[in-house]
Amino acid sequence: QKEVEQDPGPLSVPEGAIVSLNCTYSNSAFQYFMWYRQYSRKGPELLMYTYSSGNKEDGRFTAQVDKSSKYISLFIRDSQPSDSATYLCAMSAGGYNFNKFYFGSGTKLNVKP
């Protein structure tokens, strides 16, 4: 079983739709949860960084963490064609290994104009 599971998509939505992206994980030690956006042939760009359970909002983006279910989500409101990219979740256990990130395989999102 992979440490982090993520549906690869592709996910295709019309412009303006609400997008829900999700990851599940198996390691209960994970405490830090990140979402990255990666455009084709580019490096990942940090979108959201959360610690432990709860919600975090930044503009059109909301990150949710449910540690009891080992499930994290990223919501994108009013999606735009420029949001079309691959979204990667990442997580780490913190402590001594806080820098060791485990990545999902990424979900490819296509927002149609």
Partner 1 sequence: GAVVSQHPSRVICKSGTSVKIECRSLDFQATTMFWYRQFPKQSLMLMATSNEGSKATYEQGVEKDKFLINHASLTLSTLTVTSAHPEDSSFYICSASTGGEQYFGPGTRLTVT
Residues that bind partner 1 (CB under 8 A): 4, 6, 8, 32, 34, 36, 41-46, 49, 88, 98-101, 103-106
Tell the smallest beta-carbon distance from residue 11 to partner 1 (Å): 14
Cα distance between residue 51 and residue 53, in whole Å = 7
Tell the smallest beta-carbon distance from residue 18 to partner 1 (Å): 25
Token pair 């079309």 is found at 84
Q: CB nearer to partner 1: give 62 or 94.
A: 94
Rg, Å, the chain Cα set: 14
Tell the smallest beta-carbon distance from residue 97 to partner 1 (Å): 10
**CA pseudo-torsion sign 57, 111, 89, 71:** positive
Q: Which token pair is 83?
A: 């949001």
Cα distance between residue 4 and residue 72, in whole Å = 10
Q: CB nearer to partner 1: give 60 or 108.
A: 108
Q: CB nearer to partner 1: give 15 or 45.
A: 45
